[in-house]
Each structure stands twice: as C-alpha cells, then as structure tokens.
Chains A and B, each alone.
Chain A
C-alpha cells in the first residue's frame, strides 16, 4: 500500500516535528566501515515517522532519511551519489529524494540550501533540518569510528 500525496505533504509541512534526543552515531552492525543512527521524530499529529542517518567515509556517502513506519523512506537527503529521475534526467551528487504518489521516492532534485559537503555530517544536518521543518532540540555528536581518526 502507499501513502497519499496529501498526507506526505502534510508530514513535510508539519511544524511540530521535533527530535529531542542527542544524536549519537554508532558503528553500523552490518557494514563495519559505516556509521549510522536512528531517532524518533515526535509530532502532534502522531505520524509514525523516524529518522535514520548513514555515513560511509570509504565510499564518500552521507544520507539522512525520514522513514514512515508503514511505507519506508518518504524523504531523504543523499550526498556523494548521483541520481537519475524516472524521466531520465541526471541529478547531481547532492540531491533530495521526495515522495511522489505511485512512484515512492524515485524523484529527486538538487537542493540549493545544502552547501556543506558529505564529510561534514553535522553541518549538513543543520541545513537538512531547516528545509523539512524539523526542530532538533538536542545535539548531534560528531561521528567517530573506533580505530579511526575523527572523521
């Protein structure tokens, strides 16, 4: 089943979305070279959404994804990888995927508000939160991979 476009847009527009916890990156259980986190997104309407981050310094990729518990990823920011839209157009290495009814998150665009680079997860995080109306009242700690220098 799918999420309606109207409901998706309401989630994005909702100004009550907040993450209260500090964000702590942990080494991925599956991919030992990567780091990840997961936090709940609290909101007044009770939308069942949470946020997942993924950072892989070896492949040069950073992603922040809003995941709806019933349908999967509905919105995401990807850095370090290009994207091709269903109409064939190539979108650059910094792009945002968004939900489009019937197409899941296959459509992406190049956002002008993300100017930080993939290897600055905290800087990117602050820019990401602004556009998606997400208030983070905690702090994101820098990802430090055990056995590696500060990334």
Chain B
C-alpha cells in the first residue's frame, strides 16, 4: 500500500482530529490532537512491512525529553516508568522508538491512538525531572516569613489589566495583603531587564491597588550581591514599596504596617 492508500484505510476509523499524510521518508504521518507538555503536537507514524504494519513514534518521545532536560539520560526510576508505559500499552521500546509491530490493517487506528498515548505518558516524565533552584534567596525569604509567622503563598498568578503575572510571594498580615516581587540575580547585565519587567508588571497591576484597600506592592531587592544601582531603586519606587533583603526589619514593617 502506498501512503494515500494507508491513509484512506485508517482515516475512517480515526476521529476527525487526526490527520494523515505521507511521512518524510517512509509510510504515513498521523498528526494527533495530543500535546507534549510544552504544547508541541504529537505525531505517530505508520509503515507497511511484509508481515503487517509498524506503528511508531520514531523516537520523538525520548527525543523531546532530551531537548527539554539538562541531562540527556534517564535515571533508573525514569527508565522503569518508560517500561511501565510500554507494558500497559503493549508496545516495545526498540532503539529508542515506541513501537507496535505486526499490526493488522483493522487494528491500525487503535494502535495509532495507543502509541500516541504512550508518547504523552513518556514525555510527562519531564515532570519528575528536578531542576536546581536558581533563587536561594527565595528559599531564605520563605524561611524568614515562616519565622515571622506571616502567612503567605508562593508563585502566585495575578491577573493585571493585560495579562497574568507571576508574583513571588503574596503575604497576609494584620489585614494587609502584599504582593512581593523578588529581584535577585548574580549577573549585573540582567538587572536592567529585570527592573523593566518589574515596572511593567506593577503598572499593569495598578488597577488592583486602586480597587483593593490594604494592598501593597513590594519590590524586594536581593542586595546581598552588589549588582543594583540607585537608578534601579528609583525606577521601582514610583510603582511600589522598595525593600532590601539586607534590611529585613524594614521589609517586615512594610508587610505588617503598610
């Protein structure tokens, strides 16, 4: 069967969201509606062989993981997860490819769906990959807030006028809510962009301050590294309270007294 014939035979069995066309080298590519964790569309491939069809991802699942992780290797635990996926979905892992072979024509549509599901499950192993903290200061702030018994939430998404913004800490103390953005970097070259981004965020969230009483916007500078200039503080003091990590009592006053 050529590519058109393969597509014609499997398309009726597949939902409309699956699109079939010739693959770059051999067989057909079925574009599925399923997504990788970053939003990439999952493709599955069907190749005609003498003893049936092979349905495979051509290694895209493990390739995706390699492109999105610091280490290109899976730990033993992660390898076990891949084996578990293959076992559940009755697939083989052949030279890094998730594959079902000797598939009959009538079973092609099911095989395509199950290989696609396997690709998604394997790529979800990405969520088990740890990343090192880029912000040890954030951990220190977390710890300090706990010792001060200030209630808080971390990495909060706040809707501004035009978009959502990620805020490092949202604190609650004595009837006052504070949104704290932590500015921390070792790279002096990064400070300008960080300040500009913070300014953009506070400007976009200005409506919140106007509509909510007792809301304070706080720019907390990690001044343990000597990268900030006076101009950085001045730019942000128009839009927020300025706090410095080296002056924790002042930071405490901002959070608790406004």
Contacts from A to B (Cβ < 8 Å): 1-7, 9-11, 13-14, 28-34, 36, 38, 44-47, 52, 54, 56-61, 63, 65, 67-73, 76, 78, 80-86, 97, 101-102, 104-108, 118-119
**Interchain CB contact under 8 A, B58 and A10:** no
* Chain A residues, Cβ within 8 Å of B132: 1, 69-70
**Interchain CB contact under 8 A, A60 and B134:** no
Q: 25 pairs across A/B with beta carbons < 8 Å?
A: A1-B138, A2-B134, A6-B183, A6-B196, A7-B187, A28-B63, A31-B95, A33-B58, A33-B59, A45-B187, A45-B189, A47-B187, A59-B24, A59-B58, A63-B67, A67-B68, A70-B70, A71-B131, A73-B69, A81-B41, A101-B165, A101-B166, A102-B166, A105-B38, A108-B39
Closest to A53 in B: B67
- Specify which of A31, A47, A76 lies most central, judged by the most chain B CB atoms within 10 Å of its CB: A31
**Interchain CB contact under 8 A, B193 and A6:** yes
Judged by a CB distance under 8 angstroms, whether B252 is at the interface is no
> Residue A4 contacts which of B24, B58, B194 (CB distance < 8 angstroms)?
B194
Chain B interface residue count, CB cutoff 8 Å, equals 58
Contacts A52-B66, A58-B24, A102-B157 aside, 6 further interface pairs with beta carbons under 8 A come to A1-B132, A10-B192, A38-B72, A45-B187, A82-B41, A105-B68
**Interchain CB contact under 8 A, A9 and B197:** yes
**Interchain CB contact under 8 A, A1 and B38:** no
Judged by a CB distance under 8 angstroms, whether B62 is at the interface is yes
Nearest Cβ on chain A to B63's Cβ, whole angstroms: 5
Closest to A46 in B: B187
Q: Compute how far the CA of A56 lies from the CA of B96 in the bound complex, rounded to whole angstroms.
A: 12
Closest to B138 in A: A1
**Interchain CB contact under 8 A, B198 and A6:** yes
Closest to B47 in A: A58
Q: Compute how far the CA of A2 lies from the CA of B58 in the bound complex, rounded to whole angstroms.
A: 31
**Interchain CB contact under 8 A, B195 and A6:** yes
* Chain A residues, Cβ within 8 Å of B120: none
* Chain A residues, Cβ within 8 Å of B57: 59
**Interchain CB contact under 8 A, A72 and B134:** no
Q: Mark B132-168, 1 if CB is under 8 A from A, else 0.
A: 1111001000000000000000010100000011100
* Chain A residues, Cβ within 8 Å of B23: 58-60
Q: Compute how far the CA of A79 lies from the CA of B57 in the bound complex, rounded to whole angstroms.
A: 16
Nearest Cβ on chain B to A27's Cβ, whole angstroms: 11
* Chain A residues, Cβ within 8 Å of B43: 59, 81
Nearest Cβ on chain B to A39's Cβ, whole angstroms: 13
**Interchain CB contact under 8 A, B138 and A13:** no
**Interchain CB contact under 8 A, B155 and A65:** no
Judged by a CB distance under 8 angstroms, whether B100 is at the interface is no
